Structure formats: structure tokens, C-alpha cells
A = this chain, B = another copy of it.
Amino acid sequence: MLNYPNGHHAADPQTRKNSASRRGMELEKEINLTNEYYLQADQAVIYKKPTPITIVKVDYPARNKAKISEAYFKIPSTTDYNGIYRGKYIDFEAKECQSKTSFPIKSIHAHQIEHLERVVRHGAIAFVIVRFVLYDETYLVDALTMTDYIHTCGRSSIPYKWFQEHGTLIPYSYVKPVDYLQIVDRNYAKELAE
């Protein structure tokens, strides 16, 4: 059995919902932990990209020590996560949603939608991971299924119900808090076999 790199063992998956250890740990951190698990298990090589910033000023308070003293956040031109799994290029964006009823489309940048469509055209497996925080439910939705809906729905948000119908719930476990590759195996079996 594989242990988490920190040496922790898997907790009982039954303790999933709202367990104390989980409180306050957001989607990004959980995906990073999951990716680290995949890396240690040599299952996949998938990383979050660093936050894009524009550096304006760098100070050198000591030799060999550079301190960035002025920088600004940039709008990302791509999604946050990419890498390789079973020989395939994987690309996805992850978003938390605080609403109980719908996911605001504006939380995904136009460039990110374009980027997802582009990588799919080039043969990627691409998707969006959306967590409805108040339900503690995390869905994987195929990128094109979601971008097609965005282009045609004429709405500013996607109903929660839509994710129940078109997404797949991602199971939680202590060692793999967002085990999305399990869903990828199932939902992209055809692409992975190519």
C-alpha cells in the first residue's frame, strides 16, 4: 500500500464529510496534495502552475538574496493545472463555488475557456473541477461539455443541477483528497486507449 509522502496513512474513506482535519483546507491545496500523491506513486506528473505576476521591483537586501518588493497579479492566459498521465496531455481548471444554486460563469476567464477548447483540439484530455463548498461536493466536468453550455446557455451562471447531470462526483480519501484520475480513467477510457 502506498503511503502519503509525509508518512501519513490513509484514513478511512468513510470519515469523508466535514471531518475536522479537512475543515479550512481548500480545493487548491487538496488538488496539490493529490498531485503530490500521484507523483510519489509515479502515476502521473501534474502540477499547478505558479500564479502569474508582473515583477516591477526587486531589492537585494543581502548578497544572493533577492526580494521582490513590487509586483502585481496578472490575468492567467491558461488554466492552472497541466501535465501528463498515461501518455496523455492533461489540462484542467479548478474552481470553488460558494453558491448553493449555481456556478457563476465569470469565475472562469474567457482566455481559459479558449485555452481549454484549444488543447482539446490538439488532443488533450481537458476538464474543469468545480467544488460546491456548501454541499462539500466536487465535480469533474468535461471541458467541451462545459464550454458548449457556456456558449449556448445565454445565462451568467450554470445551475447546480447541471453539474449533477453532466459532471461526475469525485470521491474523497485522506491520501487523495480529490482523486480526479479515477474519474479520468472512467470518463476518458477511449482517449486513454488511443
A residues with a Cβ closer than 8 A to B are 39, 42, 44-45, 47, 49-53, 55, 66-74, 77-78, 82-89, 91, 115, 118-119, 121-124
Could you say how many copies of this chain the assembly holds? 2
Q: State in angstroms the CA–CA spacing of A52 and B122 once bound together.
A: 27
A45 B87 Cβ-Cβ under 8 A: no
B71 A119 Cβ-Cβ under 8 A: no
Contacts of A47 in B (CB 8 A): 77-78
A42 B72 Cβ-Cβ under 8 A: no
Contacts of A44 in B (CB 8 A): 122
Q: State in angstroms the CA–CA spacing of A122 and B192 once bound together.
A: 13
A84 B124 Cβ-Cβ under 8 A: yes
List the 3 closest pairs (A to B, CB-CB), nearest first. A87-B123, A50-B52, A68-B71
Contacts of A91 in B (CB 8 A): 84
